Structure 1
Amino acid sequence: MVTNSRIIRGTALLTVGTFAAIGLTACGGGGGGGESTDKTITIGMNSGLVPTFEGYAEAFEAENPDWTVEVSAVPDAQPDYIQQLVTQGLSATTPDIIFNYDTLNQTLAGNKLLFDMKPWLDEGKGGLTTDGFLENFLDQYRVGDTITGMPVSADSGMLFYNADIFAQYGITDLPTAEWTMEDVYRVAAEITDASGGAVYGLGTPIGDSTAYFTFYPVVKAFGSNIYDPETKKFIFANDQGLEAWTTLLAPYTEGFGSPYSAAADGLNLFIGGQTAMTVGARPNVANYRDGMPDVDWNVQEMPKVDGNSTTGGGSYSLSISEKSTNKEGAWEFLSWFYATDGGMKAAEPNGVVPATKDGLENGTWKDDSNPVPSNLIPVTEYAVENAILPDAIPDDVQPKVAPALTKALEQVILEGQSVKDAYTAAQDELNGLLG
C-alpha cells in the first residue's frame, strides 16, 4: 500500500483533508472481557474520519436505540498512536474498535494490540465470514494464522484522462482496457511534444516514491518484488526490478511526464488541466467531479505489463483492541457496519466501495447516477478485483523503505546516478537493517 498518510488521504478523500494529531480521549468499554455485551462501544478513529464515523454511529444508534457509540480521534503519527494504545491498555481505557491500515497492521499486531478475529470469522459470527471479504484486501490484515483487521473500503488505482486535451492536440487514440504501459508512454510523449511542453502527457505516477500503489504493482508485473517473504530479503534491485524502476522513472528521465518538483510540492496538475493523464485512487473521482465540471474526462483500467495488472490499491480497516473488555459489543457494531444493507449502505454515499464480495456485487455504490465519468462502474469492478497489494515487510524496517526508495529516485533524476547503482545501494541498505 501506499505509505501511511498518503494511503489514508487516498482512501478517504471525501472526508479527509490532512491529518491532525489529536489525542484520543480516554474511554473504555465495559463488560466481561468479551463474554458479555455492554451497550456502549468506543471507537478510536483517524482524526480526518471522525466526522464520517460519527455519522455511522448515529445511523447504528438509530437502528439500535439502546446502544451508544462514542468516536474519538487518534494521533496521526505511528509511534504516538502505538504508544497511546499501549498506555491505554495498561490503564484499561483502550477503545473497543480501533483504526488500522494495511502498512500499520503488522506493527500493531507485533505489539500485541490487536484481537485475532479469525476464529469468529471462520464460524460466521454475526454474519461476518472470512470468505465474505475480498481476498486480496483481507490478506493485508493476516499475520501468520491470524486476522487482525477487516478492510473498510476496497480502494484501487485507475487511469484518469482528459479527453479535451487529447482532442486539443489532435490525439484520437483514447485509452482502452487493452493499453499497455508502452501505449500510455507513447501517447503521453505525443501530447507533450504536440503541446510544446505546455501540457504534460502524463502526471508521473511514481511521484516521490512514497505511494506504494503507484509502483508496487509495476515491480510485481515485471517479476520482482520489494521484499521477498520466502528469502526474507529485499530483492527490488534484481534484473527484473531494475527494469521496472527504469520504466517507472521514464516519464521523468525522458521528459514526457510531470516534473519531480510537482510531486515534491504535492501538486495535482490533472485538475488544473496541465496533464492529460494521471494515475489515481478511485476516491479522486469526487474531487474531479467538483473541480472539473466543464471538462470531458473519464477513467480507464490501469495499463498492463506483459499481460499483468499494474493496478494498485490499499485500505484502512477496523480492528478490535486486544485489551477491549467489550469485544462482543464491538462485534455487534462490526456485524452491522460491514453488512451491505447496514453500515455499508450508509458508507457508500461517501464513495466507499465495500471490501466484501456481496458489497462489490450488490452494493448501492453501483447506483451512482452521475454520468461522469461514464466508465466508472466497470473500471472500478476491474480495479478492485485485480488490485495488487504489497506483501508485509518486517515492522522494524518498514518505516525505512519509503525514504530509501525516495533517496534512490532522487539520486537518479537529480544527481544523474544510474538506476542500477542507486537502487542496489538502497536494497543493500535495507537488507543491512534486517535482523
Structure 2
Amino acid sequence: MKRLALLSFALITSAQAATTITVASVNNPDMVTMQKLVPEFTKKYPDINVKFVFLPENELRQKVTLDVASNGGGFDLATVGAYEVPIWAKNGWLEPLNPLFSKNPDIARSYDLNDVLPSIRDAMTYNKNLYAVPFYAESSMTFYNKDLFKKAGITMAHNPTWTQIQSYASRIHNPSGGVYGICLRGLPGWGENMALFTTMANTFGGRWYDTDWNAQLNSPAWKDAMTFYVNLMKRYGPPGATGNGFTENLTLMSQGKCGMWVDATVAAGFLSDPSSSKIVKSVGFANAPTGPGTDRGNHWFWSWNLAIPKSTKKEDAAFKFLTWATSKDYIALVAKTKGTWAAVPPGTRVSTYHNPNYVRAAGAFSNIVMNSIRSADVNKPTLQPVPYTGVQYVSIPQFQALGTQVGQFLAGALSGDSTVDEALRQAQQAAQTVAVDGGYKK
C-alpha cells in the first residue's frame, strides 16, 4: 500500500514537473508534419509537452502579432516570416538565440549553425544577434502538368514569360473537363495574393515606391500588370479564385485540376509526394515567369522560421523544440517517415543539397529551387531603384496592413466588384498615406 502511494505521488510529481509549450503555426503541410512527429521529440524530452495552434496565414499573423506586441505570453514559439523577424527583433519582441546556443553547447554542436544557408541566416539576424532559425525557405517557380501539355501539343519553356504562360493556359483550359488553364493566388492578403502579384508587377517594371517614397501604384507598369492578372484569371482560372491561397491551389494542382501554377518552391516536394499528390509522374518544373519589363524580381524570397517570443516564461523548453524541429536529424526523420527525401523541408541547409539521397529524389526540381533562392535579391528587387528591401513585400512595419488592403482591392478587381482603374486609385491613395503618416516621405 505504501509502495502504491509512493508510485502515485511520483506520477503526480512527474506530471506537475512537465512543461507544456504552445506553438503558433501556419497550417501549411510541412508544419502539420511537424506536429505528427512530436512523439519523436517527446521521446528525447519526456518532460516537455507540445501544443499546437494552427491558423490560416492571414489569421496567424494577426493573432501572433497582437500577442507578442502586447507581451501577452500566449505562445512560447511562433512560426514567423522573413518579413517579420528583423522588425520584431528591433521592437524587442523576440528572444535572441545566441545566448541560448551558448548556454546549450551540446545542442549547438549537433545543430551546426554553419550548415544553415548564409543568406537565410543573415535574414534572421538583427544587430549581429540571431532571432530565428528557418524551418523551410522558398522562392517561387512554375509548376505544370506534363500530361496536359503533351495532350495540347505544347512545350513549357525553362524560363517562361507571362505572355507564354497566358498562351499555354489558353491551350489547356477545359473547365467542362474539370481542368483550368492556370491557378494563381487570389485570396486577399499581403502574404497571399500580393506575394504573387508583386513579383508580377516587378517584372512589368513596377515598384511600390520611388526613392523619395512617392507611391507608384498608379503607374503604367502596375496598370499593365493588374490588367494582365485579372484577364488571365478570369479567362483561364478556376471559379471563386478570390478564395484560393497557397493551400487551396496546392490541392487543385495536386488533384490534376490545374494546367499550371506559379507559387512557392516548397510545393515541389508536396507535388512529388505520392501520399498527397495524384500528379507525381506528370508534374513538371520551370522558373517563375518574367514580364515585358524585366526579369528582376520574378523570384520571391521567403522563409518560415521558428522564433521565441520575449513574453514566454519557458524559453529553455521552447529552445529545445526549436532546435529539434529545424535540425539535420529532423530533416532525415521526415524523409524516413514520408518514404522520400523529396518531401523534406527545403531551402535551409547546405547538407540537404549535398545529400545524395535528396539529389536523387529531388533532382527534377532541386536546382531550380536553389537557384531561385540564390537569385532572389531583396536589396535590388525591381527594375528601378527603391528605398526598401524585399522582393514580394516592402520591409516596413506598415506593410502588413497596407499589403492586405491592396490585396483586397486586387481581389475586388478580380471578382468584378470594381474595375482595375478603381482598384489602382484606391491602392495608390493607401500607399501614399502610409508613406506620409509613417514619416517615410519627408
TM-score with structure 2 setting the length: 0.68
Gaps of 5+ in 2: 1-16, 378-390
In the other structure, the counterpart of 1:151 is: 134
Tell me the SS of whatever aligns to 2:306: strand
1:320 to 293, 308, 313: 308
Q: CA deviation at 1:39?
A: 9.6
Letter paired with 2:344: V
Contact 1:221 / 1:310 at 8 angstroms: preserved in 2? yes
Q: Deviations over 1:276-333 (max 9, x none)?
A: 2222333365367444259733222223343446233533211123244554564455
In the other structure, the counterpart of 1:74 is: 53
Q: How does 1:8-407 map to 2 (within 5 A)?
A: 42-46=21-25, 48=27, 52-62=33-43, 64=44, 68-74=47-53, 76=55, 77=59, 78-85=61-68, 89=71, 96-105=76-85, 108-109=88-89, 112-117=92-97, 126-127=108-109, 132-134=115-117, 136-138=119-121, 141=124, 147-169=130-152, 171=153, 173-192=154-173, 202-208=181-187, 210=189, 211=192, 212-226=194-208, 231=212, 234-252=215-233, 255=235, 257-259=236-238, 261-264=240-243, 269-271=252-254, 273-281=256-264, 282-283=266-267, 285-286=269-270, 289=274, 290-292=276-278, 296-305=282-291, 306-308=294-296, 310-325=298-313, 327=315, 330-340=318-328, 342-348=329-335, 351-363=343-355, 366=358, 369=361, 375-387=364-376, 389-407=391-409
TM-score with structure 1 setting the length: 0.69
Contact 2:160 / 2:290 at 8 angstroms: preserved in 1? yes
Q: Structure 2 vs 1, CA of residues 196 and 284 (structure 1 numbering), >3 Å: closer, same or farther?
A: closer
Query: What root-mean-square deviation, in Å, do the aligned CA atoms of Structure 1 and Structure 2 show?
Result: 4.3
Q: Structure 2 vs 1, CA of residues 183 and 54 (structure 1 numbering), >3 Å: closer, same or farther?
A: closer
Q: Between Structure 1 and Structure 2, how many residues are aligned?
A: 382
Q: CA deviation at 1:153?
A: 0.6
| Higher-helix-fraction structure | 2
| Inter-partner Cα distance in structure 2 for 1:214 and 1:122 | 39
Q: Structure 2 vs 1, CA of residues 141 and 222 (structure 1 numbering), >3 Å: closer, same or farther?
A: farther
Tell me the SS of whatever aligns to 2:240: helix
Q: Structure 2 vs 1, CA of residues 143 and 205 (structure 1 numbering), >3 Å: closer, same or farther?
A: farther
Q: CA deviation at 1:344?
A: 2.7
Q: Structure 2 vs 1, CA of residues 356 and 56 (structure 1 numbering), >3 Å: closer, same or farther?
A: same
Percent identical: 15
Contact 1:159 / 1:302 at 8 angstroms: preserved in 2? yes
Q: CA deviation at 1:398?
A: 1.6
Please say if 1:426 is aligned against 2:431.
no
Q: CA deviation at 1:396?
A: 4.2
Q: Structure 2 vs 1, CA of residues 71 and 47 (structure 1 numbering), >3 Å: closer, same or farther?
A: farther
Q: Deviations over 1:371-408 (max 9, x none)?
A: xxx72333333344345643444334522422323324
Contact 2:100 / 2:319 at 8 angstroms: preserved in 1? no
Contact 2:117 / 2:350 at 8 angstroms: preserved in 1? no
Contact 1:159 / 1:299 at 8 angstroms: preserved in 2? yes
Tell me the SS of whatever aligns to 2:136: coil
Contact 2:183 / 2:260 at 8 angstroms: preserved in 1? no
Q: Structure 2 vs 1, CA of residues 239 and 178 (structure 1 numbering), >3 Å: closer, same or farther?
A: same
Letter paired with 1:377: S
Q: CA deviation at 1:186?
A: 2.3
Gaps of 5+ in 1: 1-37
Q: Deviations over 1:162-215 (max 9, x none)?
A: 22222333x2x32132322222222223344xx698676632425245324422
Contact 1:118 / 1:146 at 8 angstroms: preserved in 2? yes
Q: CA deviation at 1:161?
A: 1.6
| Inter-partner Cα distance in structure 2 for 1:60 and 1:416 | 50
| Inter-partner Cα distance in structure 1 for 2:206 and 2:129 | 27
Letter paired with 1:166: F
Contact 1:106 / 1:392 at 8 angstroms: preserved in 2? no
Q: Structure 2 vs 1, CA of residues 429 and 308 (structure 1 numbering), >3 Å: closer, same or farther?
A: closer
Contact 1:45 / 1:99 at 8 angstroms: preserved in 2? yes
